[in-house]
Amino acid sequence: MNENLFGGLYKLLAKNQLKELKDELSDMAYPDIADFIMDLDDDKLAVKIFRILSKDISADVFAYLEPDRQSVIVQSITDSEIGRLMDDLFLDDAVDFLEEVPANIVRRVLANTDKETRDLINRFLKYPENSAGSVMTIEMVELHDRLTVAEAIKSIRRTGVDKETIYTCYVIDDKRHLVGTLPLRRLLLNEEDTRITDIMTDDEQLVFVKTMDDQEEVAALAKKYDLLSVPVVDTEDRLVGIITIDDIVDIIEEEATEDFEKMASLLPSEDGYLKTSVFSHAKNRIGWLLILLITSTFTGQIIEGFEMQLATIAGLTACIPMLMGTGGNSGNQASTLIIRGLALGEIKMKDFFKVLWKELRVSLIVGVILGIANYLRMLGVRLLTGDNVTDSVILVVSLSVVAVVIVSKTIGCTLPILAKALKLDPALMAGPVITTLVDAISLLVYFGFANLLISM
């Protein structure tokens, strides 16, 4: 969908040729129609366009709209229109929408849905955030374990229209226990009189989650087993829903975004950057900054204890930012690799000593190269500026660089794994936390070397 086509739509809108506009829109993909409705500056216009959409696609388009526009639309349509909209929406989309809009809209919407849907929605709204239950949908294909291939295909043809996916079918027994899964592909490529229990995936190969499992677990299983949907069972192993791959892709993006945010000392935000208010942005950022400001008192105290030497030995103070920067960046490199490795399941707790041994060797190589580079740099600066930095100061700073790299990489790889061991989120042990710790240790190392090597 290119911008030019939106141009054409705007033209029709300007001329008020609604009939032609409706025709144009009905040829477009749902996400593109939603993009156009989101692109409109005026809420009233957005409602007007939404209402000219033909009835059979309006719910599909609605599911792709942002919550603010969804609210506006629901506030502007009639009760019976709301009823039909809620009927046509997949349950997971309806729940997504109701989770985001104000309470008065939720009340009005629920008042206009039939009792069955209302009860379902209420149950879904009660699942904890980020649980499998909160993201699942109930529109799956269930097949009874008595059926043959031909009967199963007939049943799918009859009921499939309203299902979110028909590509993986779920086989249940009389008590609704999940007993197997059956890809539509396998149904189609088998003989008509084959019993589905003979070709379904069962036992050890059966992959599922419980309603209260974390959505991260769902994403991990779908990735590992290349699934198009993951079944969800209740505490008694009865099938209650499925999570489809399009929602799993969203979960993967969401979890990565959360890690990015945590690693930059931000509280995770519910909405995207532009949708989040200035006040929420400030709230998400202030916490960690305050903590880091207060803990910086320690580095301040370390420097104050060394203030006399800093004041009398030329060049010592000037190198503090470089040392702290090198330490922070080195530690951050290590922690980022470990946090990501843990998140992707590539690094396990039992690999700790392997990781530590690797980091020690890497930091030795990197530290020595940086130390030599720093030695040459400071010699160069002295040559160019004629400052009175002594050879011993240059030596102290360069040795400190080596030590700081080693220390910071060790801390950087240890903290995330330690956090995981303590059932904390490894992503919280990223940049800022490590930097603060590394800052203090770097200064102690630096001043230690200075005391040892420079005759006072």
Question: In the range 13-52, which residues lie near a second copy by CB under 8 A?
Answer: 27-29, 31-32
Locus of tokens 């890690």: 259
Q: Do β-strands 209-210 and 229-233 pair in parallel, antiparallel, or remain unpaired?
A: parallel
Our CB check for a second copy shows the closer of 320 and 395 to be 320
362 to each of 283, 355, 370, how far by Cα in Å? 38, 10, 12
Q: Which of 52, 189, 452, 453 binds a second copy (CB under 8 A)?
A: 189
Residue 309 and residue 456 in contact, taking contact as beta carbons nearer than 8 Å = yes
- Closest residue by Cα to residue 431 from 411, 451, 450: 411
Instruction: Tell me whether residue 83 or residue 160 sits nearer to a second copy (CB atom).
Output: 160
CB of 235 to a second copy, least distance (A): 19
Per the DSSP assignment, residues forming a β-bridge with 242 are 137, 231
Of the candidates 38, 39, 260, 421, which one interacts with a second copy according to CB under 8 A? 260
Q: Which is nearer to a second copy, 82 or 196 (CB)?
A: 196
The type of residue at 92 is D
Q: Of 24 and 99, which CB lies nearer to a second copy in the complex structure?
A: 24
The verdict on 122 binding a second copy (CB under 8 A) reads no
Q: How far is the CB of 71 from a second copy (least distance, A)?
A: 19
Neighbour tally for 413: CB within 10 Å? 28
- Considering only residues 336, 400, 410, 414, which one is a binding residue for a second copy as defined by CB under 8 A? 336
Say what the alpha-carbon torsion angle 179, 182, 187, 190 is, to the nearest 10 degrees.
Answer: -70
Between 128 and 225, whose beta carbon lies closer to a second copy? 225
User: Least distance (Å) from a second copy to the CB of residue 397?
Assistant: 10
Count of positions on this chain that bind a second copy (CB under 8 A) = 121
| Residue 12 C-alpha from the chain's centroid | 39
The Cβ of residue 287 has, within 10 Å, a number of other Cβ atoms equal to: 12
Is 441 a residue that touches a second copy (CB under 8 A)? no
Site string for a second copy, 265-304 (x = CB under 8 A): xx-----xxx---xx-xx--xx-xxx-xxx-xx-xxx-xx
Question: Judged by CB under 8 A, which stretch of 13-21, 110-118, 210-218, 327-335 contacts a second copy?
Answer: 327-335
Residue 219 CB, nearest approach to a second copy (Å): 9
| 320 touches a second copy by CB under 8 A | yes
- Does residue 344 bind a second copy (CB under 8 A)? yes
Nearer to a second copy, 52 or 189 (CB): 189
Q: How far apart are CA 150 and CA 143, in angstroms?
A: 12
List the 178-183 sheet strands across, edge first: 142-144, 168-172, 178-183
Is 205 one of the binding residues for a second copy (CB under 8 A)? yes
Distance CA 382, CA 363 (A): 28
Of 114 and 271, the one with the shorter C-beta distance to a second copy is 271
> Using the rule CB under 8 A, is 153 a contact of a second copy?
yes
337 binding a second copy? (CB under 8 A):
yes
Whichever of 109 and 389 has its CB closer to a second copy, that residue is 389
- Spell out a b/e string for 132-152, using b for 16 or more CB atoms within 10 Å of the CB, else e: bbbbbbbbbbbbebebbbebb
Binding-site member from 432, 447, 449, 450 for a second copy (CB under 8 A): 432
Look at strands 229-233 and 239-244 and give their pairing: antiparallel
Residues making up the chain, counted from first to last: 456
| 229-233 sheet: strands from edge to edge | 209-210, 229-233, 239-244
What binding mask, one character per residue, do residues 345-384 give for a second copy by CB under 8 A, x or -? -xx---x--xx--x--xx--xx--xx--xx--x---x---
Residue matched to tokens 């036992």? 203
Q: Give the residue with the Cβ less far from a second copy, 27 or 116.
A: 27
CB of 275 to a second copy, least distance (A): 8
Torsion angles phi and psi, residue 408, rounded to 5: -70, -35
